[in-house]
Structure 1
Amino acid sequence: MAIDDGDGVTIEYVGRFEDGTIFDTSRYEVAADHGLAEAQDAGPDNYKALSFRVGNRDVIAGLDDALVGRSEGEEATITVEPDDAYGPVEPEKIREYDPETFEAMVGTEPEVGMHVHAENDLHGDVTAVREDTVEVDFNHELAGKTLVFEVEVIDVWGKNE
């Protein structure tokens, strides 16, 4: 049965950047081999096949759209451009703060790589710490990146199941 909008699917996947670096996977063995499981302090139970309904935009648009017409058991490599993934990097989402103001808001000294959660529900990462400014990028960490997914369709179920 060819996958159509509204069908449920279960997939196994490996997500890579264009240079081949793996950023996400449903397969524990792959995560363990590439240091993801250790970096995220995650065991085998944290890696499992992904199930969702095609067309509901439960996953990024480029992956969702690329599954239409595929079949159970099919394997594919799907390249998703930024506009169909997490969008382009938006310069207005990169903000600068006075170091004292930043420390008062966050409660700790800034460090490059620090993840912050703002009161307006934005999440960001400190990308630079200078004597007079702290730079925080509130773009999604995958914004501006082309993503390549190796996908295996494990199961397909109908619209009414």
Structure 2
Amino acid sequence: MFLYAAILFDSSRVEDIDPFIGMVTEEPIRGAAVGPTAGCIIAHQFYALKYGDRFWYENTEGLQAFTDRQLREIRLSSYARLLCDNLANTETVQPYAFMMPQSSPRPRYDSFVEFSRSEKYPMEDGRLPGLSNQRVSCSDYQAIPRLNLNEWRDMIYT
């Protein structure tokens, strides 16, 4: 059916291409599952969801807004810490849990924040040059920080 719909139009004019057909036939962006058109639409949708949601955790307006110190604590949390705290018998994990662990020489950067100030992220090939993703102990709170809930202790809800 889709092929029939695409044949009905003169394919020499970009205005006549069905958007769905165009998106599924585009070459994927390197390292992605979709092409540039679908990537742009998905990115725009996530942007609209993030900034259009008054309860988005980074929104600074309203009674539900977090303080700067609370946001700093939230940004320290990671999937690696979630794995360490909730999976039985997990003793080590790589700090960037969604990326493969790597063995690398001494890193140039001590943290992802420092890395992101001077490097483009993510790298096109998915690597984090100068930032180590070697497995570390779950009890190493410097490498995989734990959320400090004391920042919420004195909050008064009205």
TM-score, normalized by the shorter chain, greater than 0.5: no
* Greater fraction strand: 1
TM-score, normalised by the number of residues in structure 2: 0.23
TM-score, normalised by the number of residues in structure 1: 0.22
Higher relative contact order (CA 8 A, sep 6+): 1
* Greater fraction helix: 2
Give the greater-gyration-radius structure (CA): 2
